[in-house]
Structure 1
């Protein structure tokens, strides 16, 4: 994996350093990005407050936060960061800090120059475009219609109103810059990082487990994943080289080793035929949902993790790095990634990272079998070396 930490040359970092910062996010408090920003603020800001929502969906969370903005302690903030969906909160936040911005005209300070008169630096952390998500990704409404134009307007207004726009990938920044004819220098990329207090590095045993987890969004290509699982799960990948279960015994272990697959998440986007085939495979475990601590344990038990994204028809899948990839990396897991522009920004193909063409379950199944087979041989070699030590 290429360098992923925020750099000292970062405009975002320079703006929050030793400043009073407010972070308002249309996400829950334990979301991966919320935790990441919290750690950054702990290390760099003079003082910070975080406002999030535990409601069940983005719209209800945005409404919850809008109702609370009037009581939020924002007026004295040097920097306000609006996270995940700033489009839904920007107008209310701008109104709240209007007293600060009224001290400025054409970028120059007016008034008596007292501490009560200061301009708030506004950061829009645009994880996604409303237009791209609702129209191009989910296909909820027709492109070119009234709602389509409204969503584009909200995106554009947010970019124009912000002093800095933070995205999760360079590909996403390029896309937003082109779509809304905005200067590329207004954007900065801050890649995701997993919370290592929850997802710490682990080292697997000689088990042969494959894991995928996801929310079931269309761009993830969960149908591709489960179809590949149905092809790969149950395959015998017995060790062929240096197969010593116990190095002292001198007896090679060629006992059967079968691929087992665990799928954690929604199956609503998966066709019935694929779902039935997966459910009938005794080597596949399907779990609807797990809390973070139990999910971390499941990942720890896996020898290979599937990251994605794999949907071949949604452009956003090519511009987005799966959040789970950062978690797998933090836990020192081998992973298979979708062959996308965004993934290539920070990952390089090696013996821990493998890229598979989007939309091809057979290639994904073959890659799983190849990785697991190699892992089986390597684990036997490690077991032999450990026993000698």
Structure 2
């Protein structure tokens, strides 16, 4: 079994600069390109000149725990999760007092356990990102809302989030939702944009092909993505042989996509196997139009998914649902960062694709606007500045 990663005292050069605030990164996160917000946010903090940084980390899951199926996989994940939390908590209890603790996503179980233990810091900042209860129960419906398991999950997460000084989410709408759902004070929840992979995802000028328009959707096929809306729009565009719609990803609603493709694929094709960051960046760069989210769930209104960050960073024309979140993010800018359509409206989506497929100049303008919007509102520099201020004690 892998040992706990301790990057503190003698292993951290910043720790000798005693005039700096001390920061402990405490977590069970998987630091891989599959979780870019975690990977790049933690790396930036470790390189920060503003803190003396130490780190206690043990990944709660790994590739090896996913190779089996059924009960074997469940047991592997359970024991790995239990070992990770126990190891991190043991080292935490031996750690001297610190100015601030930062807990990367996922931190719910760790925070819940910390709520019963002596504090090593008066300030605990957790990257909550998304609520476990909201995702499992309210959004995906994997547990019945009135079931005992759902109720226990709610109580566990409420205690965990209330134990944090600051909970970080990525949108103002998610912050308000978290406060309402768990009874948190408004000052306990702050919105900071996600951190992303800016090494593989770089601005690339579109190489338009006059004979075809390449439309791309990337996602995990969960309800808020609105897969049905995309497939229905593709069916409406079946006679447009110059429009190609590609889907990359797999997930909860994959079976529905399978049925559509088996019946009448039309202009739709599916790359089910997930790609590396480099491959995804390449796929986005080769597209002309990129699709965001179109679901009719409540959660659709309050999220700005990571795919929109990637599309904007590369510089592609984006079509996504008009939501409270997209309206709030684009408020105050004098340009249009994306083209919006009503949620869960295949006709409107199909019409928007046709209009932009037939108007390369409009696509170019939206692509340029997306790059500008990423730089102004979504970049890692912008997010890191906000996070550092929170860790230092500001809001």
1:375–1:46: structure 2 CA closer, same or farther, 3 Å change rule?
farther
Q: Which has the larger radius of gyration?
A: 1
1:181–1:213: structure 2 CA closer, same or farther, 3 Å change rule?
same
Instruction: Report deviation, 1:166.
Output: 0.8
Determine if the alignment matches structure 1 residue 166 to structure 2 residue 194. Answer: no
Q: 1:252 aligns to what?
A: none
Q: 2:329 aligns to what?
A: 346
1:368–1:232: structure 2 CA closer, same or farther, 3 Å change rule?
same
1:72–1:226: structure 2 CA closer, same or farther, 3 Å change rule?
farther
Residue from 294, 302, 311 that aligns with 1:328: 311
Q: 2:12 aligns to what?
A: none
Q: What are the Cα deviations for residues 319-364 of structure 1, in whole angstroms up to 9, with x where unaligned?
A: 1111101111111111112222122222369555011211112211
RMSD: 2.8
Q: 2:269 aligns to what?
A: 285
Instruction: Report deviation, 1:286.
Output: 1.0
Q: 1:266 aligns to what?
A: 250
User: 2:183 & 2:92 partners in 1: Cα distance?
Assistant: 34
Residue from 25, 39, 42 that aligns with 1:38: 42
Determine if the alignment matches structure 1 residue 319 to structure 2 residue 307. Answer: no
Q: 1:226 aligns to what?
A: 231
Q: 2:32 aligns to what?
A: 29
Instruction: Report deviation, 1:375.
Output: 1.7
Give me the TM-score of the superposition, normalised by structure 2: 0.72
Determine if the alignment matches structure 1 residue 55 to structure 2 residue 62. Answer: yes
- CA contact 2:101–2:123 (8 Å) conserved in 1: yes
Give me the TM-score of the superposition, normalised by structure 1: 0.73
Higher helix share: 2
Identify unmatched segments of 5+ residues in structure 2.
1-19, 67-73, 365-395
Matches within 5 A, 1:1-389: 18-30=21-33, 31-41=35-45, 42-43=47-48, 44-49=50-55, 51=57, 52-55=59-62, 62-63=81-82, 65-70=84-89, 72=91, 75-76=95-96, 77-94=98-115, 98=118, 101=119, 119-207=121-209, 208-232=213-237, 235=240, 258-266=242-250, 268-270=252-254, 271=256, 273-277=259-263, 280-281=265-266, 283-288=267-272, 289-308=274-293, 310-312=294-296, 314-347=297-330, 350=335, 352-375=337-360
Aligned length: 319
1:277–1:353: structure 2 CA closer, same or farther, 3 Å change rule?
farther
Instruction: Report deviation, 1:273.
Output: 4.3
3-state DSSP class of the match of 2:198? coil
User: 1:220 & 1:343 partners in 2: Cα distance?
Assistant: 14
Identify unmatched segments of 5+ residues in structure 1.
1-16, 102-117, 237-257, 380-389
Q: Which has the higher contact order (CA 8 A, sep 6+)?
A: 1
Instruction: Report deviation, 1:376.
Output: 6.5
- Structure 1 range deviating more: 60-69 or 286-295: 60-69
Q: 1:8 aligns to what?
A: none
- CA contact 1:230–1:277 (8 Å) conserved in 2: no
Q: 1:244 aligns to what?
A: none
